[in-house]
Amino acid sequence: MSVKKQERRDFIGMAFGAVAAVGGAFALVGMKKSWDPLPSVKAAGFTTVDLSPMQAGEFRQVEWRKKPIFIIKKNADMKPNPARDVVIGEDKYMVAIGLCTHLGCIPSWSPSDMMFKCACHGGEFDASGVNTFGPPPRPLDIPPFKIDGTKLVLGEEGPEYKKLAGIA
Ligand code: FES
Residue 142 lies in a domain: yes
Q: Contact, 150 vs 143, CB < 8 A?
A: no
pLDDT over 50 (residue 42): no
Residue 72 lies in a domain: yes
What whole-number distance in Å separates Cα of residue 158 and Cα of residue 136?
27
Task: Tell me the best of 99, 101, 120, 131 to mutate to test the pocket of ligand 1, counting ligand atoms within 8 Å of each CB and taking the most.
Answer: 120
Q: How many angstroms does the Cα of residue 148 sit away from the middle of ligand 1? A: 33
Same domain, 115 and 138: yes
Residue 42 lies in a domain: no
Tens-digit pLDDT profile for residues 49-68: 999 999 999 999 999 999 99
Same domain, 28 and 87: no
Q: Contact, 70 vs 98, CB < 8 A?
A: yes
Same domain, 76 and 159: yes
Question: Which CATH number do you get for residue 107?
Answer: 2.102.10.10
Ligand 1 atom at shortest distance from the alpha carbon of 136: 3
Residue 59 lies in a domain: yes
CB-based pocket (< 6 A), ligand 1: 100, 102-103, 105, 118, 120-121, 123, 134-136
Q: How many angstroms does the Cα of residue 132 sit away from the middle of ligand 1? A: 12
Per-residue confidence band for 41, with pLDDT thresholds at 50, 70 and 90 = very low
The pLDDT assigned to 142 comes to: 97
Domain that holds residue 22: 3-36
Same domain, 51 and 129: yes
> In angstroms, what CA-CA distances link 86 with 6, 79, 162?
73, 13, 11
Q: Contact, 102 vs 134, CB < 8 A?
A: yes
> How much is the mean pLDDT over the chain?
85
Contacts of 25 (CB under 8 A, 6+ apart): none
The pLDDT assigned to 12 comes to: 55
pLDDT over 90 (residue 133): yes
Residue 65 lies in a domain: yes
Same domain, 146 and 122: yes
The pLDDT assigned to 166 comes to: 85
Total domain count, the chain: 2
pLDDT over 80 (residue 30): no
As a three-state string, the secondary structure of the chain is CCHHHHHHHHHHHHHHHHHHHHHHHHHHHHHHHHHCCCHHHHHHCCEEEECCCCCCCCEEEEEECCEEEEEEECCCCCCCCCCCCEEECCEEEEEEECCCCCCCCCCEEECCCCEEECCCCCCEEECCCCEEECCCCCCCCCCCEEEECCEEEECCCCHHHHHHHCCC
Residue 148 lies in a domain: yes
Same domain, 129 and 88: yes
pTM (predicted TM-score):
0.75
Tens-digit pLDDT profile for residues 4-28: 556 656 655 565 555 555 555 555 5
